[in-house]
């Protein structure tokens, strides 16, 4: 019997120990959609197939059961009339699914800083480049995060960034003494920590496609000698680590969302240490519940969170050295 795409999805999902609900949550689709794929009632769209392959830790060709030279699920047809006329129009498509908002955020920040700097020269505003840069970064970061999840910390970033940007540009001046700023920041951080502890909302994600193709993502992955190393810039990626014995690893994110799943590792070394670094993004480390994480974190306008709990008699220990700058590191037990 020929192996279908649905059967390959079922086999790989079970191989890495995910339920249909968990797989659907990672892809940003419904469990019913995953069920239809596995029963060959429908097929994942083109944007979802690479994400499936990344989650399963296999190549796209292996997922599709084909060699690189074979065509799958359709073909590209050129419009002969447009081709003859030399009319090569490019279509921009905006889709709310999983994606790469960080690159857009960085672009908006560059445009905002550049525009305000240019205007400051044209209108002879007495303001330095630094006094434009840092409040603009706070403002853009806060607004970007609030589009996906409400947090008092992110709201504070947006409000303080907007306030100091306007004040530095002399658009307004509020009588707020400097002695009030520090306690206000403490209150905002406390409210943010309380809200995040009470609930952890799901994060909507966003993707931009150009001519039906995903934007470029810079990522690397290396797994060898009981260790792993993965990095990501400007994008989203999920890595599933499967080693007989894990001695350590390194995960780095810059302007992106990276998930590292360690639940398939059979054994953890006594001194297993993972270096986790996140700047302007989110890094999620998924640990099995028989493993307990001991964390040591350094944060600069970032956060370090834990979701779930290990078993009371957890036999393994992982040491996590976390460094977060304007980002979030999450340790999740599954």
Q: For residues 272 and 294, what is the distance between their CA atoms, to the nearest angstrom?
A: 10
Find tokens 């907007």 and name the residue: 162
Q: Please measure the distance between the N-terminal and C-terminal CA atoms of the chain and give it in whole angstroms.
A: 35
Task: Return the bridge partners of 236, or none.
Answer: 257
Query: Which residues, including other chains, have CB under 8 Å from residue 14's CB and lie 6 or more apart?
Result: none
Q: What percent of the chain has pLDDT over 90?
A: 0
The answer to whether the CB of 216 falls within 8 A of the CB of 236 is no
3-state helix, strand, coil in the chain (%, to 5): 35, 30, 35
> Same domain for 147 and 186?
yes
**HSE (CB half, 13 Å, CA atoms) of 178?**
0
Which of 198, 229, 255 finishes a domain? 198
Containing structural domain, residue 39: 5-64
CATH at residue 16:
1.10.260.40
Asked if the structure places residue 88 within a domain, the reply is no
On whether residue 83 sits in a domain, the answer given is: no
Q: Which candidate, 333, 246, 248, places its Cα nearest to that of 288?
A: 333
Q: What is the pLDDT of residues 25-47, one digit of tens each?
A: 888 888 888 888 888 888 888 77
Task: Collect all residues with Cβ–Cβ distance below 8 Å to 140 and sequence separation of at least 6.
Answer: 105, 108, 109, 112, 161
Alpha-carbon gap, residue 145 to 105, rounded angstroms: 10
3-state secondary structure of 132: helix
* Closest-CA residue to 49 (of 97, 14, 101, 102): 97
Cα separation, 51 vs 48, in Å, equals: 5
pLDDT tens digit sequence for 126-140: 777 877 888 888 888
- Residue 300 has a pLDDT of 64
Q: How far from the centroid of its chain's Cα atoms is residue 151's Cα?
A: 17
pLDDT at site 211 = 38
Query: How far is 92 from 90, CA to CA, in rounded Å?
Result: 7
Is 159 within the bounds of a domain? yes
Report the number of distinct structural domains present in the chain: 3
Q: Report d(CA 303, CA 278) in Å as an integer.
A: 10
223 and 324 share one domain = yes
> Is residue 95 assigned to a domain?
no
pTM score of the predicted model: 0.38
The pLDDT value recorded for residue 193 is 67
Residue 75's pLDDT band (cuts 50, 70, 90): very low
Same domain, 226 and 306: yes
Which of 83-92, 119-128, 300-309 is predicted least confidently?
A: 83-92
In a domain, 70, yes or no: no
Binning pLDDT at 50, 70 and 90, where does residue 98 land? very low
Establish if 140 belongs to a structural domain: yes
Do 236 and 266 share a domain, yes or no?
Answer: yes
């Amino acid at each position: 019997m020929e192996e279908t795409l649905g059967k390959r999805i079922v086999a790989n999902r079970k191989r890495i120990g995910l339920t249909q609900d968990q797989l659907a949550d990672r892809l940003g689709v419904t469990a019913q959609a995953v069920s239809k794929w596995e029963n060959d009632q429908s097929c994942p769209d083109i944007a979802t197939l690479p994400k499936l392959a990344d989650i399963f830790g296999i190549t796209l060709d292996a997922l599709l059961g084909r060699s690189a030279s074979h065509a799958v699920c359709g073909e590209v047809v050129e419009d002969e009339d447009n081709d003859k006329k030399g009319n090569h129009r490019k279509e921009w498509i905006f889709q709310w699914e999983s994606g790469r908002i960080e690159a857009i955020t960085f672009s908006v920040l560059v445009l905002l800083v550049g525009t305000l700097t240019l205007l400051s020269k044209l209108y002879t505003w007495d303001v330095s480049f630094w006094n434009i840069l840092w409040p603009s970064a706070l403002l853009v970061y806060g607004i970007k995060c609030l589009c996906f999840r409400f947090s008092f910390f992110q709201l504070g970033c947006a409000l303080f960034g907007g306030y100091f940007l306007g004040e530095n540009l002399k658009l307004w001046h509020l009588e707020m003494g400097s002695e009030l700023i520090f306690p206000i920041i403490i209150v905002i951080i406390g409210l943010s920590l309380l809200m995040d502890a009470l609930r952890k909302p799901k994060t909507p994600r966003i993707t931009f496609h150009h001519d039906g193709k995903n934007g470029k993502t810079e990522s690397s992955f290396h797994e060898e000698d009981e260790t792993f190393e993965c990095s990501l810039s400007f994008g989203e990626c999920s890595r599933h680590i499967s080693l007989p014995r894990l001695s350590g690893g390194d995960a780095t994110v810059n302007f992106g969302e990276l998930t590292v799943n360690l639940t398939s590792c059979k054994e953890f070394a006594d001194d297993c240490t993972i270096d986790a670094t996140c700047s302007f993004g989110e890094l999620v480390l998924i640990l099995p519940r028989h493993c307990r994480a001991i964390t040591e974190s350094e944060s600069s306008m970032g956060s370090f969170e834990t979701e779930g709990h290990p078993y009371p008699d957890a036999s393994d220990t992982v040491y996590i050295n976390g460094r977060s700058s304007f980002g979030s590191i999450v340790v999740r037990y599954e």
